[in-house]
Amino acid sequence: MCLGCVAAVLAGCAMDPQQRALCDPMHRQLAMARMYHDYFDEAAANAVVRQATIFPYHFEPRTAHLTELGRQELAILATYLRAFPGEVRMPRGSADDPLYSARSGAVLTFLRELEVNSEAVRIVDGQPDGDGMAAERVVEALAAENKRENNQSERIGIPVIRQGRSNGSTSIPTNL
């Protein structure tokens, strides 16, 4: 066993510095963390572009001052808007007309600073858009999926807890 340890150490010494660094557990952990963050940063940027929405929480409370998050997300959106001008949705929330107007102006000013043609961008009061289902269809689809799972579980003899019964009873198949 000791001979194996010596061989491993000697093999490690024979590697060039870059290869040796890859064997270092701390280096591997940092590399994996960087890869993880890069992947999710790209996914988050895609979500920002897909939504094209600036929410009330992107502003300091009761002001038209963008938060750091608001500036970050607008910077991501700006890269897309330079090539594909269009709408930016900005739900009004509880903002009155003067505040909403000031927030719209702040968004357009910031986009201009990022070299976006603000005349080709419209701020609209609305929620995120997408190709998703209407809420009623989502509820129907989830209910149908739940029913299929329960039926499958009962066929193979797995106890199924039924929700929504007033007595809270559990339905256990008798074919166990």
pTM of the model: 0.54
Q: Is residue 7 part of a domain?
A: no
> Is residue 58 a contact partner of residue 67, using CB atoms and an 8 Å limit?
yes
Q: Is residue 85 part of a domain?
A: yes
Helix (H) or strand (E) holding 124: strand 122-124
Q: Is residue 2 part of a domain?
A: no
Q: How far apart are the first and last CA of the chain?
A: 52
Question: Within this chain, do residues 58 and 79 fall inside the same structural domain, yes or no?
Answer: yes
Question: Within this chain, do residues 67 and 40 fall inside the same structural domain, yes or no?
Answer: yes
Identify the pLDDT of residue 90. Answer: 94
Q: Is residue 8 part of a domain?
A: no
Question: Within this chain, do residues 63 and 85 fall inside the same structural domain, yes or no?
Answer: yes
**Among candidate residues 124, 143, 168, the one where a domain is terminated:** 124
Identify the pLDDT of residue 169. Answer: 46
Task: Taking residues 143-169, report their average pLDDT.
Answer: 57
Residues of the domain holding 20: 13-124
pLDDT at 88 over 50: yes
Backbone angles phi, psi at 158, to 5 degrees: -90, 130
Confidence of residue 165 (pLDDT cuts 50, 70, 90): very low
Q: Is residue 4 part of a domain?
A: no
The Cα 176–Cα 167 span in angstroms is 23
Question: Within this chain, do residues 107 and 69 fall inside the same structural domain, yes or no?
Answer: yes
Number of independent structural domains in the chain: 2
Question: Within this chain, do residues 100 and 166 fall inside the same structural domain, yes or no?
Answer: no
Question: Within this chain, do residues 137 and 101 fall inside the same structural domain, yes or no?
Answer: no
Angle at Cα 49 formed by Cα 48 and Cα 54, nearest 5°? 55
Confidence of residue 118 (pLDDT cuts 50, 70, 90): confident
pLDDT at 144 over 80: no
pLDDT in tens, 98-113: 999 999 999 999 999 9
Identify the pLDDT of residue 3. Answer: 53
